[in-house]
Structure 1
Amino acid sequence: MLARIIAGAVLGIEAYMVEVEVDISYGMTAFRIVGLPDGAVREARLRIPSALDNAGYEMPQKKITINLAPADIRKDGTAFDLPMAVGILAAYGAIPTARKGFALEDYLFVGELNLNGEVRSIRGALPLAVMARDNGLRGIVLPEENAPEAAVVSDIEVIPVRHLSDVTAHVRGHTPIDPIAAEPMAAREYRLGYSVNFNEVAGQESVKRALEVAAAGGHNVLLIGPPGSGKSMLAKRIPTILPEMTFEESLETTKVYSITGQLGSKEGLIRRRPFRSPHHTISDVGIVGGGSGVPRPGEVSLAHNGVLFLDELPEFRRNVLEVMRQPLEDGCVTISRSLMTLTYPANIMLIAAMNPCPCGYFGSDQKRCSCAHDRVRDYRTRISGPLLDRIDIHVEVPAVPYRKLKGERRGESSRQVQQRVQAARNVQRSRFAGTDVHANAQMRPSELREHCQIDDDGHDLMEMVVDRLGMSARAYDRILKVARTIADLDGSDTIEASHIAEAVQYRSLDRDLDRVAA
């Protein structure tokens, strides 16, 4: 007898439907799985018989052939255990293929089986639920641990199960399982609280202003300052001033965490912008993704719609920094293998921090630098020019004097800054409506020409600055984008000379390199 169960697999951050065709026929006892299964899928031949036995069923002593269609795409992971077990039970008549109000073909089945029949959690439950809804299925049967993330998808039944016997009892109608009600983020409003606040940082008002500009336009930032000046402290508070995530942003980010298995068991959608801070010993595969088998997302994708913080930037290996150039430019990572090409989202705000020199005190008024000019130059040039051009804002973070550290007066709270950032982002959202651009930092040359109108004084200042500093065309574009954001914060339609002047101040490393070379 032949049975057909619908399952699914994840490729990149999107899921696709897999038909599990189970045929049981007379002949020499055998259990074969075809359709390009990987090692974990083939090992189901050992898990399923024990799981069936512990659920009160016998494994048929016949020739069992399971085909995973489409057969030309490699299947990996353990999510096929449950649909294959259900298919075997349906094929030899242990459970019905349909009853009143329920049919196997209307549901997507995913889950890993323990030897005792328990259903274990899987990766990618959210994209699988989205795929089931988009293909017109009635619902999804999946492990209880994955139910919260699948429940954010509306117009689909989410049926959580703990044991294979729960599945069979539900299919037979003996103990029906009530679906979990969908609770999408779009239906509610959330007020997110953070354990850190911008007003906890003493002094550094000019740096806070630069970070406000960066948050308002989605610009990448490089913080340069001596040890203990507060670079890491400032970076960790940037998510508190970013706009709250939209439903679409939350859905995309949650998909990435879902397929990597890093989503909490009780977490539905990720509502806080991610903050990732990898150590400088990370590999290029760890930063952009890859690995053996099906390529997995790296840190730039895990920071999608959030912040990627690289502390001690020059200490990262050169190849690690260079592979980030394409994601910073395109907002995505494309990983090519012989059998597949996957694209993961990587729309990030890069925050990098570095000392001005190896000892950390070049140009400091408080402590003398012990580094020779050659060492300082070599230290700075560990960061390539093309990568540096992709960072819009370079800002110096000086050491905080004692009088500001001991002072009781604190600056604005994160909420106050966030309100101005949100207002500027709303202006940009209206400006770029109907396009795939969402913030000033993402503007292409055509948008720059259309939306970055400079007054006469601004043109004169820009010409002087570009000729004097010898900036590249990409650096010129970065200054325009930052100036556009500053004008948005000021509520100005035109970019004025004052906006250009402030944007130029945020290219401090360009000026410092000339000073080091001298």
Structure 2
Amino acid sequence: MKLGRTSSVALLGMTGTLVEVEANISSQLPGLVIIGLPDTALSQASHRVRAAASNSGMPLSAHHITVNLSPASLPKHGCGFDLAVALACLAAAGGIEQESLERVVHLGELALDGRLRPIAGVLPAVAAARAAGRSRVMVPTACVEEAELVPGMHVIGVASLRDAAIWHGGKFDPEPVDAIAGPVAPVREDDDAGDLADVIGQDAAVMALQVAAAGGHHLLMLGPPGAGKTMLAARLAGILPDLDDDAALEVSAVRSLGGGLPVGAGLSRRPPIEAPHHTATAAAMVGGGSGIIKPGAAVRAAHGVLFLDEAPEFPAAVLDALRQPLESGRITIHRANAVAAFPARFQLVLAANPCPCGLFGVARESCTCPPNLRRRYLARLSGPLLDRIDIHFRVDRVSAAQLRLAPDKPRLTTAQARERIVEARSVARARLARTPWRMNAEVPGRWLRSDGVRPSSSSLAALDRALERGVITMRGYDRILRVAWSIADLDGASAPSAEHLGQAIFLRKGSS
């Protein structure tokens, strides 16, 4: 009996587990069997591995080979185990050095000619290997740049199974092959979404975007078609500050796990923006899948913006699925045999028409929707969801007079607005340095109303009157305080004034 042993990584959501891959050769009838809860793609690795080894001039043993993936109770998915399985089989036959093989974690899919194909999820898999105390990882050539984004790892790139066997001491003659290239990472420019200076005649909306960006607040824009809601939402991602190292690594890991967008040679420093269509299902929004659990739009928008245009058209179940991540910043997906957790700390932007025809409240236009239909239309946005959104404001169409005055009026650019946001967030971080929170939107109301933080009684007079008249609830009171602090941070004030609180009340009730 001969035994070969190496390791690979099994991913469950963003969490990776080190898997020991063992190959045993016995004197039974020829065959290659993989055990240890493999899915269909992994079970078929037996055919890929045998063909790849044969076409690489290193045929596997003609005896029976049993490959075990341990821990056996952990479900394993995908084709990223191919390289580890093939090398363990070769080591069992004595073709390569077992000692060298055990020191390296192996990731990669085999083509039938023995070359290695790139796989999805390399970045979180390499991060999991590092967390497990490993320092060396072997990946396909096309995945080297992505794997090297994880600090402290020695990344070995190989183009084929033969190259991998030679690296591990196999006595084979090198045969140069053309490495299989991965998809090219697109260039992501800051101005892809347009400049904030392109927005004309929407001064209140531009101010609201800056407040939302400064405090990390969610916002709802209500207005007729053509008012510029989509344009404004796209500009929000542009004025957000660059991501720090931890957030950039998390965003790149999510993109790697999705497999649809290559990561490239560097971490993505710009916040992502996702805009799913209103026909999206709950699984498409938060993530899921019957086999491999993949991230949804809300996860891909982590540390960025999730924009839902025509929000009332989304199914109620899809919108309500966002309640938990809006509070916790995490999405947890439960399946019968697994639980996967993903990051989901995003800014939610909802855009809605005032009625089905979109013309209610528009000057010189006639709305054909009866009152009960208008009420039902906006009631599709549930109260619990709207209660989690700090900023509500109306966006009206630009008039001809505003358009004529636009060339003569100076407008804020994206770069200028981003500088203001960076400064405001640094002020907030300094104020919250001794707390577990980083942005105003995360701060609970009890802290905002505590001594030493609560604004003066004269500043709070208008807000107190609104609470007494029943115009706002206690939760709305706290959310207005959050927005007021963001406005004060933008203005460089040490505490919200009466004017800041008045602006915050307008931004909370502006769509009413």
* Shorter-chain TM-score tier: over 0.9
Structure 1 segments of 4 or more deviating over 6 A? 173-177
Partner of 1:251: 249
> Which aligned pairs between 1:71-90 and structure 2 lie closer than 5 A?
71-90=72-91
Supply the distance in 2 between the matched residues of 1:475 and 1:416 (Cα, whole angstroms). 31
> Which aligned pairs between 1:437-452 and structure 2 lie closer than 5 A?
437-450=437-450, 452=453
> Which aligned pairs between 1:30-41 and structure 2 lie closer than 5 A?
30-41=31-42
Among 266, 269, 276, the alignment partner of 2:267 is: 269
Contact 2:15/2:340 (<8 A) preserved: no
Supply the distance in 2 between the matched residues of 1:441 and 1:296 (Cα, whole angstroms). 28
Supply the distance in 2 between the matched residues of 1:467 and 1:358 (Cα, whole angstroms). 34
C-alpha spacing 1:420/1:509, structure 2 compared with 1 (3 Å): closer
1:109 aligns with 2:106: yes
Partner of 1:306: 304
Partner of 1:182: none
TM-superposed CA distance for 1:201, in Å, is 1.1
Secondary structure in 2 matching 1:485: helix
Partner of 1:421: 421
Partner of 2:323: 325
Supply the distance in 2 between the matched residues of 1:283 and 1:431 (Cα, whole angstroms). 40
1:161 aligns with 2:158: yes
Contact 1:123/1:258 (<8 A) preserved: yes
Between 1:194-203 and 1:368-377, the stretch displaced more is 368-377
1:134 aligns with 2:131: yes
Supply the distance in 2 between the matched residues of 1:139 and 1:61 (Cα, whole angstroms). 31
Aligned-partner residue type, residue 34 of structure 1? I
Supply the distance in 1 between the matched residues of 2:246 and 2:76 (Cα, whole angstroms). 28
1:118 aligns with 2:115: yes
Aligned-partner residue type, residue 163 of structure 1? S
Secondary structure in 2 matching 1:74: coil
1:473 aligns with 2:471: no
> Which aligned pairs between 1:326-405 and structure 2 lie closer than 5 A?
326-405=324-403
Deviations 1:145-193 (A, max 9, x none): 222211112222111222212212222277699xxxxxxxxxxxx9963
Aligned-partner residue type, residue 237 of structure 1? R
Supply the distance in 1 between the matched residues of 2:398 and 2:385 (Cα, whole angstroms). 29
Partner of 2:142: 145
Deviations 1:359-409 (A, max 9, x none): 212112232222222221111111111111111101111110123324324
Partner of 2:412: 412
Contact 1:151/1:268 (<8 A) preserved: no
Aligned-partner residue type, residue 31 of structure 1? L
Supply the distance in 1 between the matched residues of 2:273 and 2:457 (Cα, whole angstroms). 41
Contact 1:170/1:176 (<8 A) preserved: no
Contact 2:237/2:273 (<8 A) preserved: yes
Say how many residue pairs are matched. Answer: 495
C-alpha spacing 1:265/1:384, structure 2 compared with 1 (3 Å): closer
Aligned-partner residue type, residue 160 of structure 1? G
Aligned-partner residue type, residue 7 of structure 2? I
Secondary structure in 1 matching 2:42: helix
Contact 1:452/1:495 (<8 A) preserved: no
Supply the distance in 2 between the matched residues of 1:223 and 1:422 (Cα, whole angstroms). 24
Between 1:42-51 and 1:399-408, the stretch displaced more is 399-408
TM-superposed CA distance for 1:423, in Å, is 0.6
Secondary structure in 2 matching 1:362: coil
Between 1:66-75 and 1:366-375, the stretch displaced more is 366-375
Aligned-partner residue type, residue 384 of structure 1? S
TM-superposed CA distance for 1:125, in Å, is 0.7
Partner of 2:289: 291
TM-superposed CA distance for 1:480, in Å, is 1.4
> Which aligned pairs between 1:144-223 and structure 2 lie closer than 5 A?
144-172=141-169, 193-195=190-192, 196-223=194-221
Secondary structure in 2 matching 1:281: coil
Supply the distance in 2 between the matched residues of 1:405 and 1:465 (Cα, whole angstroms). 36
Supply the distance in 1 between the matched residues of 2:175 and 2:129 (Cα, whole angstroms). 21
C-alpha spacing 1:144/1:405, structure 2 compared with 1 (3 Å): farther
Partner of 1:432: 432
Secondary structure in 1 matching 2:59: coil
Supply the distance in 2 between the matched residues of 1:373 and 1:147 (Cα, whole angstroms). 60
Supply the distance in 1 between the matched residues of 2:501 and 2:466 (Cα, whole angstroms). 10
TM-superposed CA distance for 1:215, in Å, is 0.3
Deviations 1:46-80 (A, max 9, x none): 11110001111112111211111111111111111
Supply the distance in 2 between the matched residues of 1:316 and 1:416 (Cα, whole angstroms). 35
Aligned-partner residue type, residue 505 of structure 1? F
TM-superposed CA distance for 1:320, in Å, is 0.8
Between 1:153-162 and 1:467-476, the stretch displaced more is 467-476
Contact 2:5/2:98 (<8 A) preserved: no
Secondary structure in 1 matching 2:469: helix
Aligned-partner residue type, residue 504 of structure 1? I
Secondary structure in 1 matching 2:259: coil
Among all aligned residue pairs of Structure 1 and Structure 2, give the percentage whose two residues are the same amino acid: 40
C-alpha spacing 1:248/1:141, structure 2 compared with 1 (3 Å): same
Contact 2:445/2:479 (<8 A) preserved: no
Partner of 1:50: 51
Aligned-partner residue type, residue 259 of structure 2? G
Mind listing any 5+ residue stretches in structure 1 that lack a counterpart? 178-189, 513-518
TM-superposed CA distance for 1:265, in Å, is 5.9
C-alpha spacing 1:251/1:162, structure 2 compared with 1 (3 Å): same
Aligned-partner residue type, residue 87 of structure 1? A
TM-score for the superposition, normalised by structure 2: 0.92
Supply the distance in 2 between the matched residues of 1:134 and 1:375 (Cα, whole angstroms). 55
